[in-house]
Structure 1
């Protein structure tokens, strides 16, 4: 884990088998912010030989989860949507970076930009989370 990774993000990633299977790397995480990367593998492609849209969505969804939960309150997705702007191929390295648009007591809204290794926009994702009020517990 990077020194720039928030402790809640570390704990979440350790329990997140799907993000681990994807090979997601946390580049930076702090309260309300997260930047992730993943390298696209052959088993992530669809019937057309390009990256399955669900992989791009999942990367953005993980960025949303890590950013929103790093504020300390257990946060769950209420609604997410994505717009794909460019195809993704095997070998591409994707980066997902969050922007916190709303940090309310019960609702959080985030935008996640997904780009490739050439900094070309691949997708734009928007997610709304519900903050349950339950606090994350960290091991001491």
Structure 2
């Protein structure tokens, strides 16, 4: 996956977007420190600040944490694809390419490969500020419409109203 954005250090989130507003209300994402930088239909880029509690005994970022960041970023791309409803992960595959050591931030980029009526297939890569790949993965999400929940619709693409 070739990175869409290269000047990562200076990239700031679009705090006016409804998906950003929905994202910051999610307490799970907030506890991870995942910041939504860019989200376009079928594509999302996030930045995550690495805290000591996210590292393992060797000082590397824990693989489970990296997986969660990849899943979160892929899910944001799936939600923002223009389809109605929300999504849930139904399948995933991840490869750890190198240890994530001595990092202040990691970046995750997710891009929809195929977006169907019921399933979305997404490729994700986690990398460092200089573009070195740490993790690559593929995720499959099922599309759901849950009763009485705030989910994206054609009139409210982020489920914020």
Could you say which TM-score interval applies, normalised by the shorter chain? Answer: 0.7 to 0.9
**What do you get for the CA RMSD once the two structures are aligned?**
2.0
Normalising by structure 1, we get a TM-score of 0.87
- Counterparts in 2 of 1:32 and 1:5: CA distance versus 1, 3 Å: farther
Question: Does 1:101 find its partner at 2:147?
Answer: no
1:56 to 44, 66, 84: 66
- Counterparts in 2 of 1:85 and 1:94: CA distance versus 1, 3 Å: same
1:129, distance to aligned residue in structure 2 (A): 0.6
- Counterparts in 2 of 1:33 and 1:87: CA distance versus 1, 3 Å: same
Q: Confirm or deny: 8 A CA contact 1:26 1:34 kept in the other structure.
A: yes
Q: Unaligned regions of 5+ residues in structure 1, if any?
A: none
Question: Does 1:14 find its partner at 2:25?
Answer: yes
Query: Match for residue 3 of structure 2?
Result: none
Q: Unaligned regions of 5+ residues in structure 2, if any?
A: 1-11, 153-158
1:4, distance to aligned residue in structure 2 (A): 7.2
Alignment of 1:1-140 (within 5 A): 2-3=13-14, 6-15=17-26, 17-70=27-80, 71=82, 72-133=84-145, 135-136=151-152, 137-139=159-161
Aligned length: 138
Q: Greater share of strand residues, 1 or 2?
A: 1
The separation in 2 between residues aligned to 1:94 and 1:37, in whole angstroms, is 6
Normalising by structure 2, we get a TM-score of 0.77
- Counterparts in 2 of 1:80 and 1:121: CA distance versus 1, 3 Å: same
1:2-54: CA deviation from partner (whole Å, max 9, x where unpaired): 33774235314412x22211211111012221100112121111122211011
Say which SS state the counterpart of residue 117 (structure 2) adopts: coil
1:67-107: CA deviation from partner (whole Å, max 9, x where unpaired): 10113421111111210001112433211011110110111
1:133, distance to aligned residue in structure 2 (A): 4.5
